Structure 1
Amino acid sequence: MTAAARRPGLDVLRVLAVAAVAWFHFGFRMQVTGEAGPLMAGDPGGLARYGYLGVSVFFAISGYVISISTEGRDAYGFAVARIARLWPTYVVCMSLTAAVMLTVPELGLPVGLTQYLANLTMLAPFLGQPFMDGAYWSIIAEIIFYAWVGVLMVARVWRNWQVWIAAVWLVIAALDLAVVESDLLRRLLLTEFAGFFAFGMMLRALERGETAAGVVLVAAFVQALAGAAAGAAKLPEAYAGAVFSIPVVLACVSAGLLVLALLVRLPAGAVPVGPVSLAGRATYPFYLLHQHIGYAAYFLLVPAIGLAGTTLALIAGLTAVALLISGVLETPAARAIRAFGAGVRAFALARIRAA
């Protein structure tokens, strides 16, 4: 979205969601996994373990924002806009992460030239390489969602059939979670997160006054709860038997989605739009940078300045770098990619006409 079209409430929620994810990684995950070194291994935090749900909130925001982003665009324009928004910042943040990992080999986190080159595509797992940072898994989920949107735009069904698309997706997701339990469906159709994406889509459909959007919105809410509960049930195996309370997970998801539904209607004058918009844009580079660089910071700095000092220094440093990237890099890089995309389109059209 352009700065003028940004919803300030979404930027507020983006900040809250990325803070929750950082809290999860620094207040829970690194204590369980020992990824930040032996000094940080120990008893994990309590509520911090639920911060991972901030990623699901991002998916719901994405469903809403992508519905807006496709309006007035064809599939090619949509693809160029997504690449312009995501790829340049990703490359810079991934490169910074690789540089930090190279300087702190004691962490034992994977980093190498082949891995780096594969990560430049944003699709490293499809090339048989690990992510440069563990947080990147959600980028793959977003790209799969974008790809399906692009396919539906090419098929000319996305614009007028979003409510039905969401409804069918939710039925497939419900069947998969309850009966089929297919790993292929989970990966290809994002069945664990379908409710979140569809919830955002239906919020926008409601704004457009589409018939039955409210009914599908409620179904998406229920499916989001079911997907979150199914995901939480698998986490003890990944985190050394740590307990994740399903009622707490459901309460967090409910709160996140209800807050999203309220904040999309937040009027521009309710918050200082400029600073809030800047903070919202900075959440993307912050998210990309925070996990492994954060582990390196805790590994290196805790012995010198302690846990609290390291946390303050880390958050301040990550915020400054994220603001710098979003304020200096994103706009000119996105403009250059959009111009290149427009040039490719013009060239292709000219060749078609000539033929």
Structure 2
Amino acid sequence: MSDTALRSTLPRPRTMRPLPGPTAARTGPPRLYVLDGLRLIAALMVVAFHFIGYNRYGDHGAWGQSTATLFPVAHSVAGYGWLGVELFFLISGFVICMSCWGRTPRDFFISRVVRLYPAFWVCVLTTAVVLWCAGDRTVTPSRVLTNLTMVHEPLGVPHVDPSYWSLWAEMRFYLLFAVVAYGGLTYRRVVTFCGLWLLGAILAPTSGIPLLTVVFQPQFAPFFVGGIVLYLMHRFRPAPLLWLLLGASWLLAQQQLVRLVHDENWVGLHPSWTVALVVVTVFYAVLLAVALGKLNFLNWRRLTTAGALTYPLYLLHESIGWTVIERLHTRMPAHLLMALLVAGLLVAAWLVHRCVERPVGRRLKRWLSGGLPGPRPARTVDVPPPGPR
């Protein structure tokens, strides 16, 4: 087959219609605001799971009694809120591929540092102060400082907040994707990357090489790959190969749900694989609808606020939330406490975004975007003129 014929079989990018007004000069695709709303839904699912879906310390834990008794209806629904992390990973695959397209590896590195670290630093320090004031002396200065690197997990240092576990999974995804982004993203390269990653995720558990499991992370690879494939469908339109990769992603995801349902230590909770699979399938279907433009009517600009709240809310909620519950659950009704707690966490998340992420992120981006260091200029030495002094 000639090169011309082969190129004709590849899917072509969608034609991006320019936005009206002053934004018409933009060269990239318009922002998918609906993804911001989905991210906040994922974060609220995780919040509901932690505070309502299970008992952290058993039936007589932070609430003083079983959450199934306190929240009889919400408990059974919130018990599947842990799947919000899987939704995060699907969206992450979609968004990272979208944001990296046409950008240099340096741009990718700067965008991830600016996006992740300023809010993380403040949330780690805030959580550490709250826990220290609550009497938790396991939060040592060394533990806090190592957490600030965001690579504390492979170093064997405990999380300041248990929710940080997902950040190491995200960072491994970024490192893998940076490899394919180094030479520039193309349809072929990204499709090949997705296929190789799924293959690595299949082979790693039985390889007997722990490093392969760390790199390919079989537990979460199907979700990241699913998000990437959905973005390719959005950018290039669906193609048979993309449908096959998406189907493989979903099939591997359902297998991982079996392990999650049966192996995790759910305190007072017995999740159903069938229900979990239905929820995850809905996630795939919603992201597919976004990719194919079926949810464009929900692409509201004001959803950027929802997206802004998501990351700091996720970072702040668990340890601080449990500390508040332990001290206030006897002083007010459980439903009122939950409402006030979530509202307070959302306000705190907004303050972190407004007062830290935006200003610090801008300064950090300018600093990282500065020119690469070069040789120092040669020092000029004053030479006295010839002749007698």
TM-score, normalised to structure 2, is: 0.80
Residue identity matched to 1:215: L
Q: How many residues align?
A: 343
Give a deviation string over 1:203-260, Cα, whole Å, max 9, x none. 111223275223212221222222222222212xx23574221111111111112112
Give a deviation string over 1:298-350, Cα, whole Å, max 9, x none. 0111111131121011011001111122233212222112111111xx133x4
Residue identity matched to 2:198: L
Q: Is the 8 A contact 2:54 2:67 kept in 1?
A: no
Give a deviation string over 1:85-138, Cα, whole Å, max 9, x none. 010001111111111111212xx5841111111011011123331111000000
User: What residue ranges of structure 1 are gaps of 5+ in the alignment?
Assistant: none
Match of 2:197 in 1: 169
Residue identity matched to 1:18: A
Match of 1:207 in 2: 234
The verdict on how the C-alpha distance between 1:290 and 1:234 changes in structure 2, with shifts beyond 3 A counting, is: same
Asked if 1:312 corresponds to 2:342, the answer is no
Q: Is the 8 A contact 2:32 2:299 kept in 1?
A: no
Residue identity matched to 1:103: C
Residue identity matched to 1:282: L
Q: Is the 8 A contact 1:110 1:130 kept in 2?
A: no
Equivalent residue in structure 2 for 1:9, among 34, 45, 48: 34
1:292 to partner: Cα distance: 0.6
**Counterpart Cα distance in 2 of 1:75 and 1:338:** 15
Asked if 1:65 corresponds to 2:101, the answer is no
**Counterpart Cα distance in 2 of 1:85 and 1:351:** 31
Asked if 1:243 corresponds to 2:273, the answer is no
**Counterpart Cα distance in 1 of 2:326 and 2:161:** 16
User: What residue ranges of structure 2 are gaps of 5+ in the alignment?
Assistant: 1-26, 70-74, 379-389
The verdict on how the C-alpha distance between 1:183 and 1:24 changes in structure 2, with shifts beyond 3 A counting, is: farther
Matched position secondary structure for 1:296: helix
Matched position secondary structure for 1:52: helix
Equivalent residue in structure 2 for 1:303, among 330, 341, 351: 330
Match of 1:95 in 2: 125
Q: Is the 8 A contact 1:36 1:298 kept in 2?
A: no
Equivalent residue in structure 2 for 1:56, among 81, 86, 92: 86
Q: Is the 8 A contact 1:31 1:40 kept in 2?
A: no
Match of 2:166 in 1: 138
Equivalent residue in structure 1 for 2:260, among 228, 231, 254: 231
Equivalent residue in structure 1 for 2:313, among 264, 273, 286: 286
Matched position secondary structure for 1:224: helix
Structure 1 range deviating more: 306-315 or 289-298: 306-315
Structure 1 range deviating more: 320-329 or 24-33: 24-33
**Counterpart Cα distance in 1 of 2:375 and 2:181:** 24
The verdict on how the C-alpha distance between 1:109 and 1:232 changes in structure 2, with shifts beyond 3 A counting, is: farther
The verdict on how the C-alpha distance between 1:266 and 1:136 changes in structure 2, with shifts beyond 3 A counting, is: farther
Larger radius of gyration: 2
Q: Is the 8 A contact 1:229 1:249 kept in 2?
A: no
Match of 1:22 in 2: 47
**Counterpart Cα distance in 1 of 2:198 and 2:169:** 16
The verdict on how the C-alpha distance between 1:299 and 1:227 changes in structure 2, with shifts beyond 3 A counting, is: same
1:139 to partner: Cα distance: 0.7
Matched position secondary structure for 1:46: helix
**Counterpart Cα distance in 2 of 1:277 and 1:3:** 18
Q: Is the 8 A contact 1:40 1:298 kept in 2?
A: no
Residue identity matched to 2:360: A
1:141-160 to structure 2, matched below 5 A, reads 141-154=169-182, 156=183, 158-159=185-186, 160=188
Match of 1:221 in 2: 250
The verdict on how the C-alpha distance between 1:35 and 1:208 changes in structure 2, with shifts beyond 3 A counting, is: farther
Residue identity matched to 1:49: G
The verdict on how the C-alpha distance between 1:353 and 1:232 changes in structure 2, with shifts beyond 3 A counting, is: farther
**Counterpart Cα distance in 2 of 1:33 and 1:130:** 21
Match of 1:46 in 2: 76
- Structure having the higher helix fraction is 1
The verdict on how the C-alpha distance between 1:43 and 1:65 changes in structure 2, with shifts beyond 3 A counting, is: same
Match of 2:360 in 1: 333
The verdict on how the C-alpha distance between 1:175 and 1:334 changes in structure 2, with shifts beyond 3 A counting, is: same
The verdict on how the C-alpha distance between 1:327 and 1:40 changes in structure 2, with shifts beyond 3 A counting, is: farther
Residue identity matched to 2:80: Y
1:175 to partner: Cα distance: 3.5
Equivalent residue in structure 1 for 2:152, among 124, 137, 145: 124
Matched position secondary structure for 1:335: helix
Q: Is the 8 A contact 1:111 1:132 kept in 2?
A: yes
Identity level (%): 30
**Counterpart Cα distance in 1 of 2:92 and 2:333:** 37
